[in-house]
Amino acid sequence: MKARAILVSSAAAMVVAKLALYEDNVLARDRISGVELVKERIVSSSGIVPGRDEQVSKICGSRNDGPFDVLVIGGGATGAGAALDAASRGLRVALVERDDFSSGTSSRSTKLLHGGVRYLEKAVFNLDYGQLKLVFHALDERNRIIQNAPHICRVLPTMTPCFSWFEVVYYWAGLKAYDLVAGSGILQLSKYYSVRKATDMFPTLAKECDGRKLRGVVVYCDGQMDDSRLNIGLACTAALAGAVVLNHAEVVSLRKDAESGGVVGARVRDNLTVTFVFTLNVNAIYICGRERIRCTRKVLVNAAGPFCDSVRKMADGSATNIICPSSGAHVVLPGYYTPENVGLIVPKTKDGRVVFVLPWRGKTLAGTTDSNTTITPLPQPHDDEIEFILSAISGYLNVEVRGSDILSSWSGIRPLAIDPSVKDTASISRDHIVHVDCPGLVTISGGKWTTYRSMAEDVIDAAVKHGKLSPSHASSTANLPITGAYGWEPSLFVKLAQSCARKKTTKDGRVETVAIDATMAKHLSTAYGSMAYKVASIAQEEKLGNRLVRGHPYLEAEVAYCARNEYCETAVDFIGRRTRLAFLDAKAAALALPRVIQILAAERGWGAERCEQENQNAKAYLSTFRTSIADN
């Protein structure tokens, strides 16, 4: 009997295993078909997104197709990622953002894709398995981002200076553990370098700090990206995958069902055009002169970042805040402070914070980790924060760090979250949380840039479950390249420069040489990927090949391209998110502004009044980017 029982048990186990394998295969086929379907849409469209007017028309078309399955509030990394994830599953999804894609936290990061060396240190010393899981997960997601957006991301070696032999052993062991946790996803092995080798690699590195002599450095590798360019790429890829994405469209209130108390709709104001505004219901659409759009859907996803609580309180005025805002200040200095391909990390300053000194877009980016702050749409760094950064890095460099060298500075708000479903709220989560506030409303917050994709997948999983939705595919974003990645290769800039250095015969018979130099070509390749050819074509064919401002590779053609194919609707959209002029050099951005407005006016048909309003708005925006600690 025992033998028979064992046999029966074994047979049952085999059946269960086969069923599990079958289910895995089905999910794998769904995932593959979902990926291929989205890829086919992107490739067949040549990466050209539907225009904003077309997106509005698609919303109007929902009277025939039925309501959206998901409406996402927030166009940052997580919101755009959620829209892309939902579209990749075959769900009908719309995304609205009150300002511009990546206008908030997602454009104000330290530009790093990392697993979190500090979290690994806490995991080891505090025996905290949760922190260890965070590192494993983030390292996995880091590699996915680099794989799916290779033109926007790169591997960046970063030095940790050691001023005692104990520090050499400590940091070497810790970073070897970081390598071990990364496993097969390791970017490069961490290494110890002597003082001579270190200063050859990083000429401005100090050999002595606070009376201590440098004993060498430990170099490890993480990823670096252009955050807003990646965010724009996600929004455009979502649009190509079938999502409706609208920037400058603000949710002003939520509609609730009187009986169930659940969220059943949203009132959205078009902040750009009040001349063409409509009310959208499930069964009918009414064009009217009001300033609001009414959207009805099955599940609303709240991905508003630091403003998540504001959205939650639209549904329930008594909702307890879950956001604990934290800010990180950043300062941009000339590129001569750091070599082009090596960064520096000060692992522990006098107050325990971490400071990074990184090369970025030809400049040097220095920034700190979290400090307490209040929530505001346009956060600004304070004098003491800027002074702290300059003071912290000056001891580690052998050149004078001058306040007069500041090209730009900014502050970003990180929405750290407290899980309202957990009784013990003393600890703030460094991971993300997904919370169902009331029927129809699912909120996601916390996390970090590196894990945006898995955050988006988690919140759409929750939306599918909560709304009892029926996606046609599983999530397929793990292996889904964003627009610009198709056909891109590291040598693309060479081909771009070669193809744009040919002679061109004009209509009147004159021969002109239209050239894009190596600096311009590298910039276009890393900003737009394979879509760089379209920017170059505009530069050549429409005589928009001049630089917008001296000392920066940005071209006039980029304004036209971004207006036509990246939902660039305002001058601030361009100088802040489509290009990084405001973040890299605020004064240069101000010099480029008149030409940017002129080209956008030609693209959008603006009159003199709108141009003046754009000028005023952009100057107010640029005033928040400090170029001197003496500025008010």
Model pLDDT for residues 384-410, shown as the tens digit of each residue: 899 999 999 999 999 999 999 999 999
Model pLDDT for residues 61-76, shown as the tens digit of each residue: 655 556 789 999 999 9
- Mean pLDDT for 601-620 is 97
Helix (H) or strand (E) run with residue 225 in it: strand 216-225
- Cα-based distances in Å from 72 to 369, 440, 459: 29, 12, 10
Q: How confident is the model at residue 24 (pLDDT cuts 50, 70, 90)?
A: very low
Reply yes or no on whether the pLDDT at 281 is more than 70.
no
Reply yes or no on whether the pLDDT at 272 is more than 70.
yes
Residue 437 CA to residue 462 CA, distance in Å, equals 12
Residue with tokens 């956001």: 323
Which residue has better confidence, 505 or 604?
Answer: 604
Burial of 588 (0-12, 13-18, 19+ CB in 10 A): buried
Reply yes or no on whether the pLDDT at 245 is more than 90.
yes
Contact call for residues 68 and 295 (beta carbons, < 8 A):
yes
- Lowest mean pLDDT: which of 202-216, 282-296, 372-386, 606-620? 282-296
- Lowest mean pLDDT: which of 356-360, 452-456, 506-510? 506-510
Residue 179 DSSP code:
H
Q: How confident is the model at residue 96 (pLDDT cuts 50, 70, 90)?
A: very high
- The pLDDT of residue 116 is 81
- The pLDDT of residue 630 is 52
pTM: 0.89
CB neighbourhood size of 499 (10 A): 14
- The pLDDT of residue 60 is 66
- Lowest mean pLDDT: which of 124-128, 510-514, 566-570? 510-514
Q: How confident is the model at residue 372 (pLDDT cuts 50, 70, 90)?
A: confident
- The pLDDT of residue 274 is 62
Q: How confident is the model at residue 277 (pLDDT cuts 50, 70, 90)?
A: very low
Residue 303 DSSP code:
-
Model pLDDT for residues 461-494, shown as the tens digit of each residue: 999 999 999 999 999 999 999 999 999 999 999 9
- Mean pLDDT for 222-238 is 97
The distance from CA 412 to its chain's CA centroid, rounded to whole angstroms, is 13
- The pLDDT of residue 247 is 96
Residues 6+ apart with CB under 8 A from 549: 581, 588, 589, 591, 592
Helix (H) or strand (E) run with residue 139 in it: helix 129-148
- The pLDDT of residue 402 is 94
Q: How confident is the model at residue 78 (pLDDT cuts 50, 70, 90)?
A: very high
Residue 94 CA to residue 574 CA, distance in Å, equals 23
Average pLDDT, the chain: 86
Residue 93 CA to residue 96 CA, distance in Å, equals 10
Residues 6+ apart with CB under 8 A from 318: none
Residue with tokens 């500090």: 118
Q: How confident is the model at residue 34 (pLDDT cuts 50, 70, 90)?
A: confident
- The pLDDT of residue 5 is 38
Cα-only R_g, the chain: 26
Model pLDDT for residues 117-171, shown as the tens digit of each residue: 777 777 666 666 667 778 888 999 999 999 999 999 999 999 999 999 999 999 9
- Mean pLDDT for 239-265 is 89
- Lowest mean pLDDT: which of 165-179, 361-375, 446-460? 361-375
Contact call for residues 335 and 286 (beta carbons, < 8 A):
no
Question: Given the DSSP bridges, would you call strands 355-360 and 277-280 parallel, antiparallel or unpaired?
Answer: unpaired
The DSSP bridge partners found for residue 250 are 269
Residues 6+ apart with CB under 8 A from 325: 306, 372, 373, 374, 375, 413, 414, 415, 416
Reply yes or no on whether the pLDDT at 294 is more than 60.
no
Q: How confident is the model at residue 495 (pLDDT cuts 50, 70, 90)?
A: very high
The DSSP bridge partners found for residue 513 are 503
- The pLDDT of residue 512 is 62
Q: Which of 612, 608, 609, 529 is nearest to 571 (CA)?
A: 612
% helix, strand, coil for the chain, step of 5: 45, 20, 35
- The pLDDT of residue 145 is 97
Reply yes or no on whether the pLDDT at 290 is more than 80.
no
**Helices 532-541 + 518-528 axis angle, to 10:** 130
Q: How confident is the model at residue 423 (pLDDT cuts 50, 70, 90)?
A: low
- Mean pLDDT for 323-333 is 92
Percent of the chain whose predicted confidence (pLDDT) is above 70? 84
- Mean pLDDT for 345-364 is 89
- Mean pLDDT for 176-193 is 92
The three state secondary structure string of 458-479 is: HHHHHHHHHHCCCCCCCCCHHH
Q: Which of 508, 585, 530 is nearest to 554 (CA)?
A: 585
Q: Which of 61, 101, 62, 50 is nearest to 78 (CA)?
A: 101
Residue 81 CA to residue 70 CA, distance in Å, equals 13
